[in-house]
Each structure stands twice: as C-alpha cells, then as structure tokens.
Amino acid sequence: MIREIKLVGQKMVAYSEVLICGVLFFLLTGGPILTQAATPSQAASPSQAPVQKASTSDLFKIPIHNAKGEKMTLEQYQGKPILLVNIATRCGFTPQLKGLEALHNRYSARGLVVLGVPSNDFGGQTPEANEEVLSFCQSNFGVSFPVLEKVVVKGADKHPLFQQVIAQDPAQAEIKWNFEKFLLGPDGRLVKRFLSAVEPESAELTSAIEALLK
C-alpha cells in the first residue's frame, strides 16, 4: 500500500513538472508552438539590434567546450549537416532526447551530426553541472551524440555560436524555449529552424534532413 502511494506521488510530481513547463512556455512565448522557418519576408524586431553577419565558415572556428570541459570547435564537423539543439534536463520536452538519439542512430552513418547544447535560460530547467547533464542524458535516454557545455542561448550574453546561427535567420528571432532545432548545411548555412513542439522524428524534420543527405 505504501509502495503504491509512493508511485502515485512520483507520477504526480512528474506530471506537475511537465505542466509547469507547458505553462511557462505559453507565458513566455505568448501562444501555441509553431514551426518556424526562416523566410525572406521576416524582419527583425525594431527593439532588437541586428547582429553582424559573418561568413558561415567562421561558425566552425568558434571555441566552445564539450560537457567534459575539453576545448573544441565545430571544425571537425565541417562538411556535414548539423542539427543543433538547445537541450534541457527538466523540461516537458526533455523526452525529445530519445528522438534526437534515434536521429543520430538513423543518420550519423550518412553524415548527420546531432549536437545537444544545454541551457538554463528557460525556467531554470537545467540546473545541473555539465558532466551531470551528460550523465543524465546518457543514463535516462541512451544519448551517444555529442553534448556540449551549458551556455547562454538568448539575450545580449548568448554564446557566439548561437549569435552566429541566429544571425542567419532573416528575422533574427531569439530562441523562445528549450529544444529549438537548427538544421545547418555542410557549409554552416542555416537551412531551416524548428520550434520546440516539432518532434525529432517528425516527417517535417526528417524530410529536411533527408534533402541534405541526398
């Protein structure tokens, strides 16, 4: 009887975390989650200063660390499509880590690189240290794709990697929540951007990946 009560309590806590994540998302984004793709007709918000665009080749030279603290760049991935995702450990979208791992298993042999970059910018939903984030992803979702260090992904202090990627979006719109997905071409060019609700294994995302791998 006591064990059953404990199990029910655990489920209620898990449900509460998902519900809180959804409410925070709605309040911060102002409405339902839609797929966002860069279109020429989009313009930067008047209150948001445009970011200077650099050559896409510069993206591969930006220094960053992996989750183990080792300094690196994305140069090792130049020439391959990259799916860059700002991940979190305590978000309602965290189960998407399983789908991202499925994409890695399905397409890595054909060249796709899935990169998870933790962020604590949205509701404080990634409070763990870098190696704890990596351990969480591996032990709970079997993640084997690269997980990088926790960085800031929005606002004036966002990491140069995300500055560079977002600068390629004609709207230069800030990331709205955890698990936005940026599909980059082999040259580092932003091909398409997907908001949080787009599942990793959805036809919408996989078709865009397939088009790059042809």
Long-range residue pairs from 171-176, CB within 8 A, at least 24 positions apart, any chain:
171/38, 171/39, 171/42, 171/43, 171/44, 172/44, 172/48, 172/50, 172/51, 173/36, 173/42, 173/45, 174/48, 175/86, 175/121, 176/25, 176/28, 176/29
CA distance 38 to 153: 18
Reply yes or no on whether 137 is catalytic. no
Catalytic-labelled residue, pool 21, 33, 88, 91 = 91
Distance of CA 119 to the CA centre of its chain: 9
CB 141 within 8 A of CB 98: yes
- Residue 83, φ and ψ in degrees, nearest 5: -110, 105
Provide the 10 A C-beta neighbour count for residue 130.
19
Helices vs. strands in the chain: H and E counts, helices first: 6, 6
Question: Looking at this protein, which amino acid is placed at residue 5?
Answer: I
Name the residues annotated as catalytic. 91
